[in-house]
Structure 1
Amino acid sequence: MKTISIRLLLTLCLAAGALGLHAQDTTASYWTRHKAETWVHKGEWRKGLTGVNPHASVNPVDFALQYHRNPVLWDKVFAWIRTNDLQAIAPGKYPIDGDNAWAIVTQGPTKAMDTVKWESHRQYIDVHYVISGKERIGVASLDNATVTEPFTDKSDNAHYTVEGTFYTAEPGIFFLFFPHDVHRPGIIADGSPTDKKLVIKIRVSP
């Protein structure tokens, strides 16, 4: 009887410890930049996904925090990328998890920079992945941006003026844009006037 009680106590302690660790994982104070970078590099979030990597501009703390607040949803997103032939998939909108996550595939001309606005979202995180071709994407902090068109719930959009950094988006690298990431995607890149692109919308976990 005493042996059983000790085993039961140890089991309960281990379970409580595991629950406590998970609770820590969902708090912003838990994720230092070093801890988050280590987690991203280890790739536990991949669940078998290969051949694509987060761009250097992706905030590892935001990535780790949002993933651990809803790992089931993020696993569905990465599973969708892993199990679909992106080269063959037709342009269109594809369900992943109701209004929590969905994919949009586009194919066509990229745009002149002066026709593309800086934007950010509050309700959804953006995954941007160029399947073929390439484009330029601007990235900036919301802290430095001036609002030109206020946020609306209906569009989940606001527009800005801001000075940002521009990167070339090509196959093999995905961008993640969180609510404080202002971005300016879909801009024509030298030598590639068209591209095929995947955008996935993922609901923000509070």
Structure 2
Amino acid sequence: MKYIPLLTIAALFLSACSSNKAQSWLAQQASAKNLKPKVYADVNLTEFKKQYAANPKIWDEAFQFMQNHNLQELAPGKYPIDGDEVFASVTEVVDKPFVETKWESHRKYIDLQYVINGKEKIGEASFENQKVTRPYDAPKDVANYEIDGGKFYTADSTTFYLFFPATTHRPNIKVNDEKVKKLVIKIKVS
């Protein structure tokens, strides 16, 4: 019989509680009630609530875009939603090996990332123990880093991820050789 350490059980319980709180709160927002993918368990719920409260209109537009379009049928390309406040892009590519991907952060926009078809790995980390490898480029709204550690998720069509300016993320990591169809919605930071 295998024994699971008490700390592991506690961590799983806290993660489930956090996920349940985030999902429960999100389900109370009128525009997200029928949203099929769930928000990922480790979302920064405090920041999510703060950003949503500061500008619910653009968040509602982002969620409505996800619900009102057949994402399976959307062609790769850019999709305006509300000017430079919120917009989307769809890509369909084979992701890259880990060593060819980069940690990144944004200051102007929050990334909502959702894998429509396929699977990819996505990493998330704080700015602790980071080394800037490419300084912030304002026109492109991106900076790159070298980071030891981080937490990695296997993203699929059941879950969407939110990356706020206080965290770095490392998307587009190859899981297998299949094409990954992905939606990224850029939501202006309030």
TM-score range, shorter chain: 0.7 to 0.9
SS at match of 2:24: helix
> 1:35 and 1:118 mapped to 2: Cα distance?
25
User: Which residue of 2 is the match for residue 7 of structure 1?
Assistant: none
Tell me the distance in 2 between the aligned counterparts of 1:55 and 1:113.
Answer: 21
2:160 alignment partner, one of 137, 157, 174: 174
d(CA) in 2 for partners of 1:132, 1:39: 24
Aligned to 1:117: 102
Mean CA deviation greater in 44-53 or 144-153: 44-53
Does residue 179 of structure 2 align to residue 185 of structure 1?
no
Q: Distance in 2 between matches of 1:196 and 1:108?
A: 7
Map of 1:102 onto structure 2: 87
Q: What letter is aligned with 1:45? A: Q
The alpha-carbon deviation at position 136 of structure 1 amounts to 0.5
How many percent identity over aligned positions?
Answer: 44
Three-state SS of the structure 2 residue aligned to 1:142 is coil
2:188 equivalent to 1:203: yes
Q: Is the 8 A contact 1:188 1:194 kept in 2?
A: no
Residue 165 of structure 1 is matched in structure 2 by 151
The Cα shift of 1:143 comes to: 3.2
Match of 1:44 in 2: 28
SS in 2 for 1:82: helix
Distance of 1:115 and 1:36 partners within structure 2: 31
Q: In the aligned structure 2, how far is the partner of 1:168 from the partner of 1:155? A: 26
Distance 1:98 1:77 in 2: 12
Q: Give the residue type in structure 1 aligned to 2:184.
A: V
> CA deviation digits over 1:92-142, x for unaligned, max 9?
100011001100000011111111110000000000000000000011012
Q: How many residues get paired?
A: 171
- TM score, norm. by length of structure 2: 0.84
CA 1:131/1:36 → structure 2, altered by over 3 Å: closer, same or farther? Answer: closer
The reply to whether residue 130 of structure 1 matches residue 115 of structure 2 is yes
Q: SS where residue 128 of structure 2 aligns? A: helix
Checking the alignment, whether the CA contact within 8 Å between 1:118 and 1:159 is kept in structure 2 is: yes
1:172: Cα distance to partner?
A: 1.4
Q: What is the letter of the counterpart of residue 62 of structure 1?
A: E
Amino acid at match of 1:44: Q
| 5+ long unaligned stretches in structure 2 | 1-16
Is the counterpart of residue 68 in structure 1 residue 53 in structure 2? Answer: yes
Contact map agreement 2:19 2:41 (CA 8 A) in 1: no
Task: Give the structure 2 partner of residue 86 of structure 1.
Answer: 71
Q: CA RMSD in A?
A: 1.9
Aligned-partner SS, 1:41: helix
Measure, in 2, the Cα distance between the counterparts of 1:46 and 1:195: 30
Query: Which residue pairs with 1:58 in the alignment?
Result: 43
Instruction: Give the secondary structure class of the aligned counterpart of 1:151.
Output: strand
